[in-house]
Amino acid sequence: MNSVFIKDICEPTLLIDETKCKNNIDKIFTKVKSMGIEFRPHFKTHQSKAVGKWFWEKGVRKITVSSLKMAKYFMQSDWRDILIAFPLNIRELDEILIIAKHIDLKLTISDVYSLEFLNRILTFPVDVYLEIDVGYKRSGFDINNTDLILKVLKIIQKSKFLNFLGLLAHNGLNYFAKSPEEVIENNKSFLAKLFDLKNLLISMGYNPILSIGDTPSVSICEDFAGVDELRPGNFVFYDLMQTAIGSCTVDDIAICLAVPIVAMYPERNEVVCFGGAVHLSKESLKFEDSEIYGLVVDIFDVTWSGPIEDSYVKMITQEHSVIKTTKEFFRTHKVGDLIGILPVHSCLTADVMKKYLNPNSAWLDHL
Amino acid sequence: MNSVFIKDICEPTLLIDETKCKNNIDKIFTKVKSMGIEFRPHFKTHQSKAVGKWFWEKGVRKITVSSLKMAKYFMQSDWRDILIAFPLNIRELDEILIIAKHIDLKLTISDVYSLEFLNRILTFPVDVYLEIDVGYKRSGFDINNTDLILKVLKIIQKSKFLNFLGLLAHNGLNYFAKSPEEVIENNKSFLAKLFDLKNLLISMGYNPILSIGDTPSVSICEDFAGVDELRPGNFVFYDLMQTAIGSCTVDDIAICLAVPIVAMYPERNEVVCFGGAVHLSKESLKFEDSEIYGLVVDIFDVTWSGPIEDSYVKMITQEHSVIKTTKEFFRTHKVGDLIGILPVHSCLTADVMKKYLNPNSAWLDHL
């Protein structure tokens, strides 16, 4: 039977399965450590002090975040070695520098102008990573533009206060991979290019570390020789996107949106739930021949079932989700029941929901 | 020059243009009133007591919301006639009934089971609308299933406390229209089907009002004879999706996400801003040949420019937006500047941002 917590849910509620989550943390922590690589997990997926504590208990002390706001939030619970893996935002520089005076804050340099701006203002040493774009074309210095990279390094070298730590890159293309094999191939060519750059810098007297990290490669690949630091984030919860890539199984997904069934339409094998784009986010995924917004599970005491056969979220609007399902579902469910939706992209679902219900204990915070 | 407020923005901030917003309210209010139709605007787009006040000042007293939470929020600022245009969620029934004792709360019935559940529990009169599905296949009784609709009406008729107000429908298919002409056509056939049902019910002695409302039709169509109540919502802000349909011009869009430029890549005519899916939502739109997440504007004192030529948000991840732009942009902008992004879907952007900066005054609240 449902626990008191589950039974009392009236509106869309994000459940967290503590066991699955801790297993995910444990598996990746052990894998990274056993390779002798520094582990600096990205906390942007969970954005939760409570979940952060589960990392702390394993001995993790270095973390990655993607905004100043997140850095400030995790500082409040004793994290002292924080990398903001996002291009330095000079509009926030005053506040960044106040924090950098008090904790070991590491910054990401992705643009010359902002580097020079930072350099002019600094009055004490600050650690910086150089962000390298290996083809994802989001942010970072183009890996093929060695002239610019060397020019940037010169600025850092001449600076009294800038301390160059190493190269930071994100293999965003892995999120478009269709199979583990594709991730392995992507990762190989991604690393080969970065090793060439790292070796060039070493030959010039620099001593850069190489920091990378995306959930698909860290979950799937075995060969990270030459990498110094790994920063995956999504693995803490995983999601359907990661299942589709092959980073995890659907059983590894550690969060699930509990939603009340509000209307049932057996004539079209569809069910409407209270829980829409403002609860799940609007991320979708090609699944078999359909564009889907989630898979459907039954909710148990402190966890949930595997996906209910032939059932998926086919449409979401602001507050509605429409679930395509089977005749069998109508025999076993009724209006007013709670069911669960496994999210397509857990980072965004967690961000819109802003808190987690852990049926083992209570609410867990989110930034 | 920028006002103090604008100048001090360091992180993604949702701006509201009070003049544009009030113009949108005024235009639709005047149009609906001049047709002699009841106006019950949907407040799910703005979810703001402050914006709600602008409606109140025009004389609006009846509103629509899409959740109990929203009804409770607007009750706090004196709204007393509130329709929850969302299928009755029986898990929230205890709280719904407490509120229904104190204000004129109207409920939406979209399922037989929940209607019977409500009927068994009621101890005082409650007004209900019957939700009719005219082909959108989200929620509501299928308009072709007259037997079921009449069965449901019988339950209401026999009930001591249920008071049948009328038929409620939403022409969701209008959001897929590619032109105003298509909206006009859709609306005609949508209304024709509803009139048939309304007339059938009248011939049987019922006296239903007909309540519809979507922003495309209310913005574009002129003929609503036979309709008793209109409930559009998005028009308060509009957005790029509505511009694409032809409901508004891009100049009518009343909210804009201000974002700092954090990196510039002239070699690929691209710029990276701090502002991603957690600020804009992940909604996209086909624009010319690209899938876009927003258009780009310059920010002025209390408003913003028209769209910057050949510039659009081509990619968003959790915190990043990548803007495709032109050489000219690089001559007139630098890292650290604020620029604006017009949202694809303002309801979702407002919901993730949770507050508005009105440079005329101060922060406006959001639920």
Read off the pLDDT of residues A68-98 as tens digits, 9 standing for 90 and up.
999 999 999 999 999 999 999 999 999 999 9
Q: What is the mean pLDDT of residues B19-47?
A: 98
Reported residue count of chain B is 367
Every domain of chain B with CATH number 2.40.37.20 lies at 4-14+254-361
Instruction: Flag whether pLDDT at A2 surpasses 50.
Output: no
Mean pLDDT of the region A24-46: 98
Q: Is B168 on the interface with A (CB under 8 A)?
A: no
Q: How confident is the model at residue B1 (pLDDT cuts 50, 70, 90)?
A: very low
**C-alpha to C-alpha distance for B215 and B231, rounded to whole angstroms:** 8
CA distance A338 to A335: 9
Give the residue ranges of DSSP H helices in A138-246: 146-158, 180-203, 215-220, 240-245
Distance from CA of B36 to the nearest CA of A (A): 29
Q: Which residue type is seen at A36? A: G
Percent residues over pLDDT 90 in chain A: 95
Q: What is the mean pLDDT of residues B252-259?
A: 98
Query: Rounded to a whole number, what is the distance in Å from the CA of B351 to chain A's nearest CA?
Result: 7
A9 has a chain B CB within 8 A of its CB: yes
Mean pLDDT (chain B) is 96
DSSP reduced 3-state for A293: coil
| Mean pLDDT (chain A, rounded) | 96
Confidence of residue A1 (pLDDT cuts 50, 70, 90): very low
pLDDT single digits (tens) B109-161: 999 999 999 999 999 999 999 999 999 999 999 999 999 999 999 999 999 99
Cα B161–chain centre separation: 31
Residues 6+ apart with CB under 8 A from A66: A42, A44, A84, A85, A86, B318, B319
Residues of chain A with CATH 2.40.37.20: 4-14+254-365
Residue type, B168: L
Question: What residues 195-234 of chain A have any CB closer than 8 A to a CB of chain B?
Answer: none
- List CB contacts (< 8 A) between B110 and chain A: 262-263, 272
CA distance A100 to B139: 52
The neighbour count for residue B291, using CB atoms within 10 Å, is 12
Which tokens sit at A285? 């995924």
- First-to-last C-alpha distance (Å) of chain B: 32
What per-residue confidence (pLDDT) applies to A5? 75
**CATH classification code of B18-236:** 3.20.20.10
A 115-134 residues inside an 8 A Cβ radius of B:
117
Beta-bridge partners for B291 = B286
Number of H helices, E strands in chain A: 13, 20
**d(Cα B192, Cα B186) in Å, to the nearest integer?**
10
Q: Which amino acid is at B255?
A: I
Task: Please report residues of B whose CB lies closer than 8 A to that of A260.
Answer: 89-92
* Tokens at B192, concatenated: 């024709």
Chain A closest-CA separation from residue B95 CA (Å): 10
Q: pLDDT tens for residues A122-179?
A: 999 999 999 999 999 999 999 999 999 999 999 999 999 999 999 999 999 999 999 9
Q: Residue A3 above 60 pLDDT?
A: no
DSSP SS3 for B202: helix
The verdict on domain A18-239 having CATH code 3.20.20.10 is yes
B330 in A contact zone (CB under 8 Å): no
Judge whether B137 is closer than 8 Å to chain A, CB to CB.
yes
- pLDDT-based confidence at residue B35 (cuts at 50, 70, 90): very high
| Contact indicator for B128, B168 with CB cutoff of 8 Å | no
- pLDDT, one tens digit per residue, over B214-238 is 999 999 999 999 999 999 999 999 9
Burial label for A154, CB within 10 Å (0-12, 13-18, 19+), is: exposed
Chain A partners within 8 Å of B262 (Cβ)? 86-90, 110-111, 114, 139
Q: Give the sign of the dihedral formed by CA B258, CA B330, CA A135, CA A28.
A: negative
Is A287 in contact with A244 (CB distance < 8 Å)?
A: yes
Cα(A220)–Cα(A28) distance, integer angstroms? 10
CB contact under 8 A, A282 and B281: yes
C-alpha span between A138 and A289 (Å, rounded) = 29
Query: Is residue A361 very low, low, confident or very high in pLDDT (cuts 50, 70, 90)?
Result: confident
pTM over 0.80: yes
Q: What is the pLDDT, as a whole number, of residue B270?
A: 98
pLDDT in tens, B310-365: 999 999 999 999 999 999 999 999 999 999 999 999 999 999 999 999 988 889 99
Contact pairs from chain A to chain B, CB under 8 Å: 173
| Ranges in chain A annotated CATH 3.20.20.10 | 18-239
CATH 3.20.20.100 fits A4-14+254-365, yes or no: no
What pLDDT digit, counting tens, does each position of B148-179 carry?
Answer: 999 999 999 999 999 999 999 999 999 999 99
**B4-14+254-361 maps to CATH 3.10.105.10:** no
**C-alpha–C-alpha distance, residues B194 and B206, integer Å:** 14
State residue B302's pLDDT score. 84
Asked whether residue B22 carries a pLDDT value surpassing 60, the answer given is: yes
Q: How far is CA A60 from the centre of its chain?
A: 17
pLDDT, position A360:
83
Question: Which chain B residue shows the shortest CA-CA distance from A322?
Answer: B138
DSSP string, A300-343: -SSSB-SPPTT-EEEEE-SSEEEEE--HHHHHH--TT-EEEEE-
pLDDT (tens digit per residue) in A169-228: 999 999 999 999 999 999 999 999 999 999 999 999 999 999 999 999 999 999 999 999
- In chain B, the residue whose alpha carbon lies closest to the alpha carbon of A70 is B319
Query: Taking CA atoms, what residue in A is nearest to B261?
Result: A89
Q: Which residues lie closer than 8 Å to A130 by C-beta, 6 or more apart?
A: A109, A141, A149, A152, A153, A156, A164, A166, A167, A168, A208
Distance CA A82, CA B24 (A): 45
For residue range B275-291, list pLDDT tens digits in order: 999 999 999 999 888 89
Instruction: Measure in Å the smallest separation between the Cα of B212 and chain A Cα atoms.
Output: 17
